[in-house]
Amino acid sequence: MLKLNINGRPHQVDVEADTPLLWVLRDQLQLLGTKYGCGVGECGACTVHVDGEATRSCITPVSAVLGKKVRTIEGLAGKKALHPVQRAWIAHEVPQCGYCQPGMIMAAAALLEKNPKPSAAQIDAAMDNLCRCGTHQRVREAMAALASGEPSGGGRHGS
Amino acid sequence: MEASRRNFLKATLVLGGGLCLEFSFPLAAKTAAQAAPTEVSAWILIHPDDRVVVRIARSEMGQGTFTALAQLVAEELDCDWDRVSAEFASPNESLRRNRPWGPMLTGGSLGVRSSQDYVRRAGGAARAMLVAAAAARWQVDAAACSVERGVIRHAASKRSLRYGEVAAEAARLAPPSEVKLHEPKDWKIAGKSQHRFDIPDKVLGKPVFGVDAALPGMVHASIAQCPVFGGRLERVDSSAVDQLRGVKKVVRAGDFVAVIADSWWRADQALQKLKIEWDFGEYATASDASIMAMLREGLADDKLPQAKKSGDGASALASAARTLQAEYFSPYINHATMEPQTCTAWFKNDGTLELWTSTQDGEASLATAAKTAGLPPEKVEVHKMMLGGGFGRRGGSQDFVVQGVTIARALPGVPVKLMWSRAEDMQHGFYRPASLVRMTAGLDAEGRLIAMHSVIACPSILKVLMPEAMKTPIDFTAVRTLSDMPYNVPHQQVDYAQRNGHVPVGFWRAPGQQNAYYRECFIDEVAHATGKDPLALRLELLAPGDKNRAVLEAAAWAAAWSKPAAAGRHRGIAVSDGFGSYTAMVIEVSVSAKGEVKVHRAILAIDSGHVVNPDTCRAQAEGNIAFMLGATFHQENTVKDGRIVESNFHQFHLLGLGEMPQVEVLLVPSGGFWGGHGEPGALCVAPALCNAIFAATGRRIRSLPLKHHELRPA
């Protein structure tokens, strides 16, 4: 049995130590928000936080997170309020199909925790998650609003 | 906007409020405390507390139809938009009730435009029934009653009733024979930017997608299909995996083998350990070169059917003072939806079959599942899940359903979730067709374009996916935009060489869009050859009143086309109608001395007649531009030894965040018709970009993707 700490809760799973964290989350723990997109760390749909670092869970063996704190999209919001990135994503209507967005949001949250006011260039460089629908413009808008400290990340429906 | 602000507040309060999408997982217990809603009509459920649920027949893949159709229903229902939610209509129920919701196919940018009339009538009919029920209770004339936000009032007696109070009585009334629809100019709910219903759940990571199906006792399957299209499975040695932990079964069928295990990872690991022998079939030596030779042979065929002939056709070229000729090529491109193909199937012990899948056509999924399982369709139910991208991949081809059902049949009574690996998804698509086109323009002594002859060699999508729709040798998706040019050219001819090859082709966002690239770049060549401004030439060729003119002028105005571009910047322009809408685009680039292209701005003007949700339409425009910039710069699927070479995103680049230009969208609806938004925004991207690169470098880009071209200024 491997002992994990996910979203502040202890879990025990009976899997091979080289099982990628992604599949422990999805198939063992039914935490289905974290997505499979490529399996090779290219697309970022599987991004979670491991001790606060944005981490591609599809290429992270579960053995590498023992004793560490894992946070998934399900654990991002507080008990009473959404995370500011989630609020901004809603206000800017960022998602289209939405499949890549949990990973995108986790990458955004990790970036902002390290650097609350990233420049446009820093946002472009740090956010290398892939999106097929083409939400790029709104990811940038939502991030720019968060970086500028707008309460609830501004929004598109103000007029 | 007040209503939108309230919806935003509503959206941010979803946390703790439960799913606003009602997917029917057996484990997802619905709250029993809520009283059952009344089905006023097939489209509309009303709860005693006035909450309205609108049933939606079309699929949701991020294009916003799930919300836009509800807006149209609510608009005519005159209910309180803040209390409206939506759910998918059931394909099985549709079958049993004689299709009260019409077709479920979601493609061709048709979701709103082809159902707007009957969904609005459904809203208006329900409103009339609710008013009639209130009037009957009060024993007054229904015409003396008014409705505002779901409250019916009789002014003379100062009485009022809420929709939730009369829904049960209304449901017993016959719908009115005639419904008068609101004029679009009077719209209160439609025509406004409303927050999409599906976004909060997606931002929270709720399990809304096909791959998120989770059922009691469910097991997982990973699949390997014959690497060469058309090949078969010969034999499989599974001795290395039969005893592996978690492995339940190895399923052999036709052109694939799948492993079922207790997690997808274990299934996929076992799959990699199988010793599989394939019969690669007759296409094992096919390559890019053989495909190009096939297309080139098509261009050389002198007995091709004509998709269009006007005036004297190609023979008019003989009398031209001058001719121009160019050949253009586009590669195969995969849809590469971020969610791979997936299907969960469960042969239940009561003899029924249930599916959970990401499909663009719930009815086709049901029919395919019934046929594959050998069950009467009435015994099959399909739960339509949110799609992790569609772009045409999950409609006409229901290959994932055939496989999901075939695999699950090996374990009766157990739900089996099939998900493709990325490599399977990349190498077993229904690709945008590769095509090769030769265009010849004839100019008179004054340099006027008098004749145009196009020869198109392109695989037929309809032949693969809808052979019954091929009534002539012409596949309209392969010839359109050239065969129906808005330009006034007196002598035109379009010949079509159907050359299919072995690579499956399919409806890829804006099918036939390659022809917009060819036509609009070739028109640019004509402008350059005759010393005309590319905008001026287009306007010269378009009739007064043609809606293509208005969008061209709008895009050119926004780009300040009449003034020189900023230093170091260069612009390209293109126009194309398609999918019911009219679009024009100006793209502005700079090109470094090393040949690096930076796209600074993309301006899209679009006239779709009416606009139901402006913000969603803008999002579709932005998405189309990112999608097509990625395709134009980077994407192709190449063929070697009969199989697709690219296996993952390292060989198939999507547009990076840093590559995205500033997008400006001009919604210029002129009224009187209904056009689409899911695809039209794709049409002008490649030509506007390539024309801008020509303006910057003097280099004509006659084949894609751009990554193969030297782009240093010539």
Closest to B103 (Cα-Cα) out of B56, B71, B60, B42: B56
Kindly state whether residues B558 and B634 are assigned to the same domain: yes
Vertex B210 angle, CA B209 and B213, to 5°: 95
Kindly state whether residues B346 and B471 are assigned to the same domain: no
Q: Provide mean pLDDT across the span A115-144.
A: 97
Residue A68: give its domain's CATH number.
Answer: 3.10.20.30
B84-88, strands of its sheet edge to edge: B38-41, B44-46, B52-56, B84-88
Determine which of A131, A140, A150 to mutate to test the interface with B (most B C-beta atoms within 10 Å): A131
Kindly state whether residues B160 and B113 are assigned to the same domain: yes
Could you say which of B384, B399, B419 is where a domain stops?
B419
Kindly state whether residues A91 and A149 are assigned to the same domain: yes
Q: Which two tokens stand for residue B588?
A: 């502005």
Report the number of distinct structural domains present in chain A: 2
* ipTM metric: 0.97
Residue B186's domain comprises: 2-204
Could you say which of B204, B226, B244 is where a domain stops?
B204
Distances in Å between the Cα of B368 and the Cα atoms of B4, B364, B404, B416 are 41, 6, 11, 17
Q: Which residue of B has its CA nearest to A40?
A: B648
User: In this predicted model, which residue has the larger pLDDT, B25 or B394?
Assistant: B394
A-B interface: how many C-beta pairs under 8 angstroms? 196
What pLDDT score was predicted for residue B714?
82
Q: Which of B2-6, B200-204, B509-513 has the lowest mean pLDDT?
A: B2-6
Residue ranges in A28-100 assigned as alpha helix (H): 84-91
Report the number of distinct structural domains present in chain B: 3
Closest to B276 (Cα-Cα) out of B244, B247, B243, B241: B241
Tell me if B714 is assigned to some domain.
no
Residue B31 C-beta-side C-alpha neighbours within 13 Å: 9
Q: How far is B4 from chain A (nearest CA, A)?
A: 7
Residues of A in contact with B214 (CB under 8 A): 30, 32
**How far is the C-alpha of B205 from the C-alpha of B19, rounded, in Å?**
11
Residue B442 C-beta-side C-alpha neighbours within 13 Å: 21
Measure CB to CB from residue A134 to each of B199, B340, B626 and give the nearest one. Answer: B626
Tell me if B614 is assigned to some domain.
yes
**How far is the C-alpha of B247 from the C-alpha of B240, rounded, in Å?**
11
Q: Provide mean pLDDT across the span B341-368.
A: 98
Segment holding B617, helix H or strand E? helix B614-633
Residues of B in contact with A102 (CB under 8 A): 205
**How far is the C-alpha of B124 from the C-alpha of B553, rounded, in Å?**
38
Determine which of A133, A138, A141 to mutate to test the interface with B (most B C-beta atoms within 10 Å): A133
CB B286 within 8 Å of CB B502: yes
What pLDDT score was predicted for residue A150?
75
Tell me if A17 is assigned to some domain.
yes
Cβ within 8 Å, pair A130-B214: no
Residue B592 CA from chain centroid, whole number:
35
**How far is the C-alpha of B8 from the C-alpha of A157, rounded, in Å?**
9
Residues of A in contact with B198 (CB under 8 A): 95, 98
Helix (H, G, I), strand (E, B), or coil: what is residue B237?
Answer: strand
pLDDT tens, residue by residue, B146-194: 999 999 999 999 999 999 999 999 999 999 999 999 999 999 999 999 9
User: In this predicted model, which residue has the larger pLDDT, A150 or B538?
Assistant: B538
For the cut 50, the answer to whether the pLDDT of residue B30 exceeds it is no
Kindly state whether residues B113 and B233 are assigned to the same domain: no
Residues of A in contact with B340 (CB under 8 A): 36
For the cut 90, the answer to whether the pLDDT of residue B260 exceeds it is yes
Cβ within 8 Å, pair B624-A134: yes
Kindly state whether residues B414 and B437 are assigned to the same domain: no
What pLDDT score was predicted for residue A152?
56
Question: Residue B17's pLDDT band (boundaries 50, 70, 90)?
Answer: very low
CB B153 within 8 Å of CB B162: no
Residue ranges in chain A assigned as alpha helix (H): 21-23, 84-91, 101-114, 120-126, 136-147
Kindly state whether residues B37 and B148 are assigned to the same domain: yes
Residue A29's domain comprises: 2-75
Kindly state whether residues B665 and B696 are assigned to the same domain: yes
Residue A95 CA from chain centroid, whole number:
13
pLDDT tens, residue by residue, B184-232: 999 999 999 999 999 999 999 999 999 999 999 999 999 999 999 999 9
